[in-house]
Homo-oligomer: A and B are copies of this chain.
Amino acid sequence: MNMYCPLSPFLIPVILLRMTCYRMTITYDGTAYCGWQVQPNGTTIQELIEQALEVLLKEHLTVHGSGRTDAGVHALAQVAHVHTPGPIDTEKTLMALNGLLPQDIRILDLEAASDHFHARYSATGKEYHYHLTLGRFQDPFARLYSWHVRRRLDVSLLRQGATLFVGTHDFTSFANEAHAGCAAHDAVRTIKRLDVIGDERHLRLEFEGDGFLYRMVRNIVGLLVEVASGKRPTGDIPKLLAAKDRRLAGQAAPSHGLFLVNVFYPQER
């Protein structure tokens, strides 16, 4: 007997009434969306997953992501959790969710998690990649997935600049306010790795760190492109970090070059 929702074939009948936590790994092409998080002015990925779950489980449940991604930002492996009113058949639910979701969002994995698991607060780190296309013309196949920089870039300057961000710093100068007047209390973060990989046509900047402030990756990429195109000396980077003033550090790189690639949790590393 299904005690929770007699309408839904996705809930497994259980004896005890208890919430159950599930963890999902999600990939999405962010082009068509107003970002991850539910908001009043446009369709978001979180919203579509919650709607699909509601169709299956006949109940509105909140899906908690590891963090927001902005409009146009993509994910290879966003992680989220959801508490269901009872155990679910993960295999059936996974297939059914993907059947309901549009083709630019796919749940790659759905599994039971500890009740203490929280996609955001349990995360110990994240990996982001930022893609640049160089050269005279944007590759049509990369146009939605990379920033086309026509200026000539000095890749060795880009690499030099990148190393100056690695380590533990106060990143206030590279963090936007997520909401008006709402800056992070503590802007100290550790970038473990910032690798510049690629050739004269495409570059990929791989960021790995314990956490990233709002727009931090895009702000750092924007500055590194200024450095690599000779507009600013690399020596500005330590000065900007020390200044702790967002107004000094120039423009963010556009959202469509950014991919959330991995979210790390304690048991995995």
- A contact residues vs B (CB 8 Å cutoff): 27-29, 74, 98, 103-108, 137-141, 143, 145
The complex places the Cα of A27 from the Cα of B104 at a distance, in Å, of: 24
Contact of A106 among B104, B106, B107, B139 (CB under 8 A): B139
A258 CB to closest chain B CB, in angstroms?
14
The complex places the Cα of A19 from the Cα of B223 at a distance, in Å, of: 49
Copies, count: 2
A95 CB to closest chain B CB, in angstroms?
8
A26 nearest CB neighbor, chain B only:
B140
A103 touches B138 (CB 8 A): yes
Residues of B within 8 A of A141 (CB): 27, 29, 74, 145
A104 touches B137 (CB 8 A): no
A106 touches B140 (CB 8 A): yes
The complex places the Cα of A140 from the Cα of B98 at a distance, in Å, of: 11
Residues of B within 8 A of A140 (CB): 27-29, 103-106
A148 nearest CB neighbor, chain B only:
B103
The complex places the Cα of A141 from the Cα of B31 at a distance, in Å, of: 10
Q: Nearest 4 CB-CB pairs, A to B?
A: A29-B140, A104-B140, A106-B137, A103-B143
The complex places the Cα of A28 from the Cα of B140 at a distance, in Å, of: 6
Could you give 5 example pairs across A and B, Cβ below 8 Å? A29-B141, A104-B140, A104-B143, A106-B139, A107-B137
The complex places the Cα of A104 from the Cα of B104 at a distance, in Å, of: 19
The complex places the Cα of A27 from the Cα of B140 at a distance, in Å, of: 7
The complex places the Cα of A143 from the Cα of B143 at a distance, in Å, of: 15
A134 CB to closest chain B CB, in angstroms?
14
The complex places the Cα of A126 from the Cα of B28 at a distance, in Å, of: 34
Residues of B within 8 A of A107 (CB): 137
A259 CB to closest chain B CB, in angstroms?
9
A145 nearest CB neighbor, chain B only:
B141
A100 CB to closest chain B CB, in angstroms?
13
Residues of B within 8 A of A104 (CB): 140, 143
Residues of B within 8 A of A145 (CB): 141
The complex places the Cα of A139 from the Cα of B106 at a distance, in Å, of: 7
A27 touches B139 (CB 8 A): yes
Residues of B within 8 A of A105 (CB): 140
Residues of B within 8 A of A106 (CB): 137-140
Residues of B within 8 A of A108 (CB): 137
B137 touches A98 (CB 8 A): yes
A106 nearest CB neighbor, chain B only:
B137
Most buried by B among A29, A107, A140, A141: A140
